Structure 1
Amino acid sequence: PSQKFPVVWCSGGTVAELKGVTFQSSYPENAYKAIDGNRNGNYFSNANYGSCTHTATEENPWWRLDLEGEYEITSITITNRGDCCSERIDGAEIRIGNSLINEGNNNSRVAVVSSIPAGKDKTFNFGGGVSGRYVNIIIPGKYRILTLCEVQVFGSRRSGEG
């Protein structure tokens, strides 16, 4: 099941960190851990397995953030796992849009993660912004695992929304 976090936004075009409802293709670790505000990249940092998401080994694992409204997304920062397996994020695609066809994984690809060093952040900037309600991160391929220790999405509410 997903866990709901409040959508945070500011009026007047101010860019804010956005929250919403999270989902992922499989478990064992909950999708909401990518937006809990904890950027600790150590998956095994406590008895609850730290603050990172983790899918099963599967084909095309994905994670989705539903912003519960349409936003102009200006940047996304991803924090990679730091205690091992940092290469798992290599080749991940960031997709943004308004469709839930194929769980949102058919939305426009706006960036590809070449690599992120262990425990580090990487920011993807989108110039004037990319419009969408859903932010997906998917790793194409067989026998893949998606682990995200934090995903920060920045943007502003589209005019006429909310």
Structure 2
Amino acid sequence: MIKASHGANLALHRPTAQGPETYTDEESMNNPSFYLSNKAVDGSAISRYSQCTHTTNAPIMWWLVDLEDSCQIHSVALLNRDNFGYRLQNFTIDIFRKDPRLEPTFPENYGQICAHQVDPVGASQWVELDCNNGPVTGQFVRVVKHSFGPLTLCEVRVFGYSCSVKTRGTYRHVPNTKSLSESREAMGVFSTPMQCGLTLWHRLHLNAFHFNKNSGYCEGYSTESGSHSSANDQDWDCFIEISD
């Protein structure tokens, strides 16, 4: 079951890769779109094998998505295929700030570990894994495993927030924080903090906003000389404009 409580799906339609190679058989020869790495980010939650990624069997099997921006990643959700479900077990989700494929030790090198799943995921079932030690900042998200057959993923959703919300400038993301500023002004309800940031464009007297991750409610406010009066609150994230 997907909670989807940590922002938007950052992986949708983003560039992907898998390895060591994409699996081929007679069916994929006749249907070149079968088993490709982008099947996991096409937005289709279908668990039939033809709609899923599929690597060859090897000592190290991996799938990777480039979020095309530095993001704060809270959780990753995976949809398993409809048969041979036992294969999706004992895998790791790690996150990199730079493309790990450029490193000479790839794919043996590990990024910052988000989560590890030991037990098999049920056939046609979702599993959502929160990053164990809190949100991880990075651009490249990888699923990697070493055994139990090829790596097959029918959909992957990466939940979090962009670290560079841009409207007038760049915003510094302060997670799990609520502003105590007396200058707060209601901005509305939005699906993502980025949408609220765009609304701030027209209110030049405001240079920051905070966003409720549960309701989508957003308030803009002004900081004084970059100062930030705030309180810890798991339901809120603050975004403060960085001056040039």
Number of equivalent positions: 140
Q: Deviations over 1:110-135 (max 9, x none)?
A: 21122211100011113741111110
Quick check: which has more Rg, 1 or 2?
2
Residues 32, 104 of structure 1: alpha-carbon distance in 2 compared, 3 angstrom cutoff: farther
* Contact 1:77 1:153 (8 Å CA) reproduced: yes
In structure 1, the gaps of 5 or more residues are: 1-13, 44-48
In structure 2, the gaps of 5 or more residues are: 1-5, 24-34, 165-169, 172-244
Alignment of 1:6-21 (within 5 A): 15-19=7-11, 20-21=14-15
Q: In the alignment, is residue 22 of structure 1 matched against residue 27 of structure 2?
A: no
Structure 1 vs Structure 2: percent identity of aligned residues?
A: 30
Alignment of 1:4-153 (within 5 A): 15-19=7-11, 20-25=14-19, 26-28=21-23, 29-43=35-49, 49=50, 51-82=51-82, 84-99=83-98, 100=100, 101=103, 102-103=106-107, 105-114=109-118, 115-126=120-131, 128-141=134-147, 144-153=149-158
Residues 40, 27 of structure 1: alpha-carbon distance in 2 compared, 3 angstrom cutoff: same
Q: Deviations over 1:83-135 (max 9, x none)?
A: x2111111111111213131585212221122211100011113741111110
Alpha-carbon distance in structure 2 between the residues aligned to 1:93 and 1:118: 19
Please report how far the alpha carbon of residue 144 of structure 1 lies from its aligned counterpart in structure 2 after TM superposition: 3.3
Partner AA of 1:155 in structure 2:
G
Partner AA of 2:151 in structure 1:
L
What secondary structure sits across from 2:40 in the alignment? helix
* Contact 1:31 1:53 (8 Å CA) reproduced: yes
Residues 38, 104 of structure 1: alpha-carbon distance in 2 compared, 3 angstrom cutoff: farther
Partner AA of 1:109 in structure 2:
I
> What is the Cα-based RMSD across aligned positions, in Å?
2.0
Alpha-carbon distance in structure 2 between the residues aligned to 1:131 and 1:122: 21
Structure-1-length-normalised TM-score = 0.79
Residues 65, 53 of structure 1: alpha-carbon distance in 2 compared, 3 angstrom cutoff: same
Partner of 1:6: none
Alpha-carbon distance in structure 2 between the residues aligned to 1:35 and 1:85: 21
Residues 138, 77 of structure 1: alpha-carbon distance in 2 compared, 3 angstrom cutoff: same
Partner AA of 1:116 in structure 2:
V
Q: Deviations over 1:49-101 (max 9, x none)?
A: 2x10000111201000011111001111100111x211111111111121313
Structure-2-length-normalised TM-score = 0.53
* Contact 1:61 1:144 (8 Å CA) reproduced: no
List 4+ stretches of structure 1 deviating above 6 A: none
Alpha-carbon distance in structure 2 between the residues aligned to 1:136 and 1:154: 14
Residues 111, 128 of structure 1: alpha-carbon distance in 2 compared, 3 angstrom cutoff: closer
Alpha-carbon distance in structure 2 between the residues aligned to 1:128 and 1:58: 31
Please report how far the alpha carbon of residue 41 of structure 1 lies from its aligned counterpart in structure 2 after TM superposition: 1.0
Please report how far the alpha carbon of residue 149 of structure 1 lies from its aligned counterpart in structure 2 after TM superposition: 0.6
